[in-house]
């Protein structure tokens, strides 16, 4: 938008829309965070959500990887979390140090659910801190690279809200969709409505590209994905542009979907109104390109675990990946197949990015 500094590097915005670009743009899921010593320094043992809610600190952490990898990274992603939607829906969420998210009162019964369904969510008010952080970050970025807004996929958020944290068996989430499918749909719809408004208002605040993280997609069977995930992802992709028009945003804002593990849904995701489909590392890039038929831009998909490898092997795998996706000649954005790990060496990630630039420019 015009009241922000002009974007100097809009490579990712052009690639997402399917324009021909000089080289595939690069960014990394979870690029801001625990593997960076400067993150720990700034976070300074503060509570995770307190860090997100402080615009000054959140914007600093967002910009850290852009600064460290100056010229190598083509986007910033706002420092926040997918679990801020459940918080805005009235649920308590804590981030336990070294353990991950914890909901002290997860949704286990229809009565629990009713309280959430009845809760009137005021997105602008409840997530006002997120919009402030986005606006401040966009100004501080000074147009160096575009800024991502994001949210969790409705199914993934249902998982956290019912399990109360991470899970291995998904006992409660599976119980919900198989014991109370209608109520599960009511919850998914409510999350979707909040997600549409949240994403749209992130754009008003300054986000220039959006990603939806359906991180637990692959826990659903193909049939259940079609019922409990895909329709809501579709709604998000369809409704956000309409809401943005209502809000007076004239630009077309690229939208990315990442449904981790949902390999069976690639063809459907390629025709779901998203501009970009992000792939985990289970995909052979060539097969994904064949299925896509140039309908969307593909993003991904290096196994982040490759960062524990030797330089020779990193180079080999970057080459396989970029060539597999068709190099600079196809609709493609470089990324990992999932997020960074806390144990990764920032210098190895730098080498990875340099190789992506070198090989992507060949
Ligand atoms: O660079 C970025 O991507 C920063 C913003 C960001 C965070 N979380 C910060 C964070 C984003 C985009 C997320 C998304 C997110 N959060 C997802 C989807 C992506 C994915 O990895 O699948 C999910 C499932 C979550 C939920 C979540 N948040 C978990 C499971 C955890 C704990 C374990 C983990 O992977 O870190 C978090 C905490 C969290 N979110 C941290 C950060 C930097 C670590 C907090 C800390 O210990 O300092």
- The DSSP line for 261-302 is T-GGGHHHHHTSS-SEEE--TTS-HHHHHHHHTTSSEEEEEE
Q: What is the pLDDT of residue 46?
A: 94
pLDDT at position 98: 85
Joined tokens for residue 48: 């995770």
Which residues in the chain belong to E strands, given as ranges?
A: 76-77, 94-96, 100-102, 147-152, 209-214, 255-259, 276-278, 297-302, 332-336
- Output the pLDDT for position 361: 94
Torsion of CA 174, 105, 152, 249, to 10 degrees: 130
Q: Which atom of ligand 1 is nearest to the CA of 51?
A: 48
Strand partners, 260: none
- pLDDT at residue number 214: 98
Phi, psi of 140 (to 5 degrees): -65, -30
For 48-71, write each residue's pLDDT tens digit: 999 999 999 999 999 999 999 999
Q: Tell me how many degrees the CA angle 258-191-199 measures, rounded to the nearest 5.
A: 60
Q: Which residue has the tokens 């992802």?
A: 233
CB 348 within 8 A of CB 314: yes
Both tokens of 255, joined, read: 């939208």
Tokens of 196: 């549409």
ipTM: 0.93
Ligand 1: nearest atom to the Cα of 150: 12
Please state the atom number of ligand 1 nearest to the C-alpha of residue 100.
Answer: 32
Q: Which amino acid residue places its CA nearest to atom 42 of ligand 1?
A: 33
Structural domain 11-360, CATH architecture: Alpha-Beta Barrel (3.20)
Cα separation of 98 and 15, whole Å?
A: 36
**β-pair partners for 77:** 148
Q: Quick one: how far is CA 13 from the chain centroid?
A: 15
What pLDDT does 246 receive?
A: 98
Question: Which pLDDT does position 352 carry in this prediction?
Answer: 98
Residue 9 C-alpha to ligand 1 middle, in angstroms? 26
Query: Rounded distance, CA 34 to CA 140, Å?
Result: 22
User: Could you tell which of 91, 259, 339 is best to mutate to test the pocket of ligand 1, judged by most ligand atoms within 8 Å of the CB?
Assistant: 339
Three-state secondary structure call for residue 40: helix
**Contact, 298 vs 279, CB < 8 A?**
yes
Q: Which stretches in the chain have pLDDT values below 50? A: none
For position 3, what pLDDT does the model report?
84
Domain residue limits, the chain? 11-360
Strand order in the sheet with 332-336: 76-77, 147-152, 209-214, 255-259, 276-278, 297-302, 332-336
pLDDT tens readout for residues 310-330: 999 999 999 999 999 998 778
* Per-residue pLDDT, 36: 98
Q: Which two tokens stand for residue 103?
A: 């909901």
């Amino acid at each position: 938008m015009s009241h922000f500094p002009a974007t100097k590097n809009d490579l990712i915005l052009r690639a997402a829309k399917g324009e021909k670009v000089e080289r595939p743009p690069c960014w990394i899921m979870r690029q801001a965070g625990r593997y960076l010593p400067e993150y720990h320094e700034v976070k300074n043992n503060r509570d995770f959500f307190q860090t997100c809610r402080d615009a000054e600190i959140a914007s600093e952490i967002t910009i850290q990887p852009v600064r460290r990898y100056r010229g190598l990274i083509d986007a910033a992603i706002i420092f926040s979390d997918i679990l801020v939607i459940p918080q805005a829906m009235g649920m308590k969420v804590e981030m336990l140090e070294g353990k991950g998210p914890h909901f002290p009162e997860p949704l286990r019964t229809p009565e629990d659910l009713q309280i959430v369904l009845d809760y009137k969510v005021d997105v602008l008010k409840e997530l006002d801190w997120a919009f402030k952080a986005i606006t401040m970050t966009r100004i501080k970025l000074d147009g160096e690279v575009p800024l991502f807004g994001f949210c969790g996929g409705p199914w993934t958020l249902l998982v956290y809200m019912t399990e109360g944290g991470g899970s291995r068996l998904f006992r409660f989430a599976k119980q919900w969709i198989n014991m109370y499918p209608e109520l599960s749909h009511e919850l998914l719809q409510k999350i979707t409505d909040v997600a549409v408004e949240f994403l749209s208002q992130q754009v008003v605040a300054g986000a220039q590209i959006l990603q939806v993280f359906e991180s637990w997609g692959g826990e659903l069977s193909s049939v259940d994905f079609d019922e409990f995930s895909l329709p809501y992802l579709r709604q998000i992709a369809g409704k956000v542009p309409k809401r943005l028009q209502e809000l007076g945003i004239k630009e077309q804002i690229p939208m990315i979907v990442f449904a981790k593990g949902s390999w069976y849904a690639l063809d459907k995701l390629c025709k779901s109104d998203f501009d970009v489909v992000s792939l985990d590392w289970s995909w052979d890039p060539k097969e994904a390109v064949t299925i896509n038929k140039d309908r969307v831009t593909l993003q991904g998909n290096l196994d982040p675990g490759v960062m524990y490898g030797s330089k020779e092997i990193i180079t080999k795998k970057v080459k396989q990946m970029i060539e597999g996706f068709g190099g600079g000649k196809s609709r493609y954005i470089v990324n990992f197949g999932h997020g960074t790990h806390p144990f990764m060496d920032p210098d190895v990630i730098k080498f990875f990015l340099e190789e992506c630039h070198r090989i992507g420019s060949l």
